[in-house]
Chains A and B, each alone.
Chain A
Amino acid sequence: MSVLGKARVTGAPFFRRRRETPHLVLRGGLLLLTLTIASPTTAKVRISSLSDVNFGAISNLTIDAIQAQSICVYSNGSNNGYSIRADGSGSGGAFTLSNGVTTMAYTVRWHNQAGQSNGTVLTTSALLSAQTTTAQNQTCSSGAPTTASLIVTLPATSLSSAGAGNYGGTLTLIVAEE
């Protein structure tokens, strides 16, 4: 008697847990081991349709300067959930812009619906959980073209005390499946 092992791999999209289903079959003195593995599809996310935030020359330094944009976030996790965190390019990930000499603080808000001008304030490197998306695919090429809002604000308190000059910085957004 010999023992043969046979494995069949079957893709099963959206399975969250690894499943293994062994079968033992005895045929004519031949022990056939059939191992079926339902390969899980790891939940995945994608953030796209991001645009640079250009405030340009700000003429009024006594009021907040606000730039909002709608972006696409896709998640194939359960309930299409995701979390998001943001990191600035300032020291320790701070949300600050620099002109090479001085820095200017800004704030970041997030809303899990498109077209919003207000949202939940993000703290650098801190997760904002329990977000959901309506994106139908990873690039929002069908359905709603955008699913979330990113709002960047230069507060008047920052503007009115900032030195003259051109400021720049990078805001990094990291989305994870939930």
Chain B
Amino acid sequence: MTGTIKTGMVALLLLGSTGTAYASTQGTFGATSTGSVNINASVPARVRISGLTDVDLTNSDPSMNAAVAQNVCVWSNTATRGYRVTATGSGAANAFTLANGALPVVPYTVEWSGTSGQSIGTSLTTGSVLAGQTSSATVQDCSAGPASSASLIVRVGSSALQAMPAATTFTGTLTLVVAPE
């Protein structure tokens, strides 16, 4: 039995207010002349999720639960580095299910942890926000600092695996949306 889940990413943005305007000063005529300009910029709240890899449950033993955990990078530039995450599946009504044509769909579960290297996390419900997450990432793609900052865990229960015909590939897409907090 084979199950493949393609993970996706979407980053949301929130715009901040613009910076305050000041006044430049002009130089006077002299041996030296000094002028100045004020520089203003506004950086909106941003997040990014990256480092995602497809979940491959090929040849899972149907006598036991199958689970795949992966470390991902979530970066947030808010003062608290906070974010929230929402997951949706590609099944009917965004259900977390894998499909193969007319065969019965195979359900899976999704868990999320705000730290990397975890094999257990908070269970996600499709379309529901998991708030209050905090990232340790210092750059948006985790190319510096921590290489990852969160864990995504996908599970397919033994009973679901046993319902799948052998040597048949089931696929689905899991979409993860993060937003700044």
Binding site for B on A (CB under 8 A): 42-59, 61, 65, 71, 74, 97, 99, 101, 104, 106, 138, 150, 152, 154, 159-177
Contacts and interface: CB of A to CB of B under 8 A. Distances in A.
A20 to B, nearest CB: 22
Chain B interface, >50% SS class: loop
Given A52-B39, A58-B44, A47 B19 contact: no
A174 B27 CA distance: 8
Interface residues of B, number: 40
Interface stretch (B28-36, B60-68, B126-134, B155-163): B28-36
A54 B30 contact: no
Contact of A46 (B17, B28, B40, B138): B28
A50 to B, nearest CB: 4
A147 to B, nearest CB: 13
Nearest to B78: A164
B34 A172 contact: yes
Interface string B72-97: 00000111000000000000000000
B1 to A, nearest CB: 41
A174 B33 contact: yes
Contacts, number: 175
Contacts of A99: 43
Given A54-B19, A165-B79, A45 B30 contact: yes
A166 B24 contact: no
B139 to A, nearest CB: 5
A170 B38 contact: yes
Contact of A154 (B22, B41, B140): B41
A46 B19 contact: no
A71 B33 CA distance: 13
A120 to B, nearest CB: 18
A54 B20 CA distance: 9
A49 B22 CA distance: 15
A176 B33 CA distance: 7
Contacts of B139: 160-161
B78 to A, nearest CB: 5
Nearest to B27: A47
Given A55-B42, A167-B42, A50 B36 contact: yes
Contacts of A106: 39
B46 to A, nearest CB: 6
Of all A-B residue pairs in the complex, the 4 with the closest CB atoms, nearest first, are A55-B41, A47-B27, A164-B45, A53-B39
